[in-house]
Amino acid sequence: MGKFILARSAQALLVLAVMSVVIYALIGLMPGDPIDLMISADPKMTSADAAALREIYGLNQPLYRRYLAWLGAALQGDLGYSRLFGQPVLDVLLPALGNTLLLMASAFLIAVAIALPLGTLAAAKPRSALDYGVNLYAFAGISLPSFWLALLLIMLFSVTLGWLPAGGMAPAGAPLGEQLRHLALPVATVATLHIGAYSRYMRSAMLEVLRHDYIRTARAKGASERRVVWVHAWRNALIPVVTILALDFGFLFSGALVTETIFSWPGMGKLIFDAVMGNDFNLAIVALLFATALTLLGNLIADLLYAKLDPRITVGRPR
């Protein structure tokens, strides 16, 4: 087990290193650099000034030299300043990460809490009205664009009914109720879209398990149907579902770009988008790497969890 964790961590680190090159190169290839922005902001600047500034900041160096310089500084803990926010990158990044986690983890928990029982009930009574309902909902969930759902919710709850704020996040010191009111719509958007897929995973895993002999045995010895489903089958059906959920959990860190943008939720997705669009090199690179690293971590946890839950699986062998 220890060896497995070590090997997978080493692999994740390698991937991260490769990604840092790719991300740096992509950002470096973006049209325009900070000096171009300075020129457009200051009409008195001459091209000689610009060249001098590029010399000072090392922007005239080839890309790989810049990358190595950046890497050297980053490894010593100097991630640079964000151009857009005028603050050290980490000071901008960490609050955004926290906001994204708050949004995504709440949505994730709500979606799981609703979807797993729903999927189980649908599988326990195949071809019932509930089963068809869950199925249809699942298809709506993967067919509905997130921005459209978000806009519908805003139109209904903010514009028409006026119950909830249309966007933004409550200021830090605001009372809990106010915080929750701001959280409600973005969480509802993300959760609604995930419930469909999750309940379908649960439903198919449950159907698979209910076919087994030990379920027939449980029924034969006279266990009630409720006991068969919720005690005998439920735990076994959870194994594949938990793995899928853990894989999905990795994606939570990069945030929900569109949902965050529409609700002006100051999270990772929106931060990365703004940084990329605003030529904020330092911030974009570090934020992308952070999201990648956390996603890789989520996947590693998913692998371990899978082995932990199902003793038949041994780790370490090539799959």
List contacts with other proteins (CB under 8 A).
15, 19, 23, 26-27, 29-31, 139-140, 142-148, 151, 155, 159, 197, 200-201, 203-204, 207-208, 250-251, 253-254, 257-258, 261, 269, 272-273, 276-277, 288, 291-292, 295-296, 299, 318
Count the Cβ atoms, other than its own, within 10 Å of residue 137.
Answer: 17
Q: Is the Cβ of residue 52 or residue 152 nearer to other proteins in the bound state?
A: 152
Q: Which residue(s) pair with 88 in the sheet?
A: 81
Question: Smallest distance from the beta carbon of 118 to other proteins, in angstroms?
Answer: 14
Please state, in angstroms and rounded to a whole number, the distance separating the CA atoms of residues 28 and 26.
5
Please state, in angstroms and rounded to a whole number, the distance separating the CA atoms of residues 210 and 76.
55
Question: Smallest distance from the beta carbon of 201 to other proteins, in angstroms?
Answer: 5
Please state, in angstroms and rounded to a whole number, the distance separating the CA atoms of residues 242 and 229.
17
Question: Smallest distance from the beta carbon of 11 to other proteins, in angstroms?
Answer: 8
Question: Smallest distance from the beta carbon of 176 to other proteins, in angstroms?
Answer: 31
Q: Is the Cβ of residue 19 or residue 49 nearer to other proteins in the bound state?
A: 19
Instruction: Tell me how many degrees the CA angle 254-256-261 measures, rounded to the nearest 5.
Output: 120
Question: Smallest distance from the beta carbon of 204 to other proteins, in angstroms?
Answer: 5
Q: Which residues of 184-193 are buried (b: 16+ CB within 10 A; e: fewer)?
A: bbbbbbbbbb
Q: Is the Cβ of residue 49 or residue 208 nearer to other proteins in the bound state?
A: 208
Q: Is the Cβ of residue 4 or residue 251 nearer to other proteins in the bound state?
A: 251
Q: Is the Cβ of residue 109 or residue 159 nearer to other proteins in the bound state?
A: 159
**Sign of the C-alpha dihedral computed for residues 119, 124, 129 and 131 taken in this order:** positive
